[in-house]
Amino acid sequence: MGPNLKKIEEISDGDDVFKKKMIDIIKQEFPKEKQDYYFYLEQNKYQESALIIHKLKHKINLLDLEEGFKLAQDFEVELKNNKLDLKDSFEELLATIEAYLTTLSL
């Protein structure tokens, strides 16, 4: 299943202002964190990349991507061990989230 707003709607409990703020924060922070992830990865700074993934996990969770969250957890551990086996799958997840966020207009 793809990204959705179910968790954000549950958390906001009908408060549209709060819901909009949460979505705005994700839309604002996600591109920068994605950019930082790629920057550190290109520099072979895997520990720093893992820290960025740790931040991204919270957004992945809020977008109700359970499998994506697990992938991010596993890739975070991999990076800490200087491995990149899940890199392509994680980057596909980032692209999916980015495409979804561009469709949101609240």
Largest CA distance in the chain: 44
What pLDDT does residue 105 have?
A: 74
How far is it, in rounded angstroms, from Cα 97 to Cα 106?
Answer: 16
What pLDDT does residue 106 have?
A: 59
**Contact assessment for residue 6 and residue 64, using Cβ atoms and an 8 Å cutoff:** yes
How far is it, in rounded angstroms, from Cα 20 to Cα 22?
Answer: 5
**Contact assessment for residue 62 and residue 97, using Cβ atoms and an 8 Å cutoff:** no
Contacts of 68 (CB under 8 A, 6+ apart): 60, 93, 96, 97
Contacts of 50 (CB under 8 A, 6+ apart): 76, 77, 79, 80
pLDDT tens digit string along 7-16?
A: 999 999 999 9
pLDDT tens digit string along 24-83?
A: 999 999 999 999 999 999 999 999 999 999 999 999 999 999 999 999 999 999 999 999
**Contact assessment for residue 79 and residue 47, using Cβ atoms and an 8 Å cutoff:** yes
- Please state the domain extents for the chain: 6-103
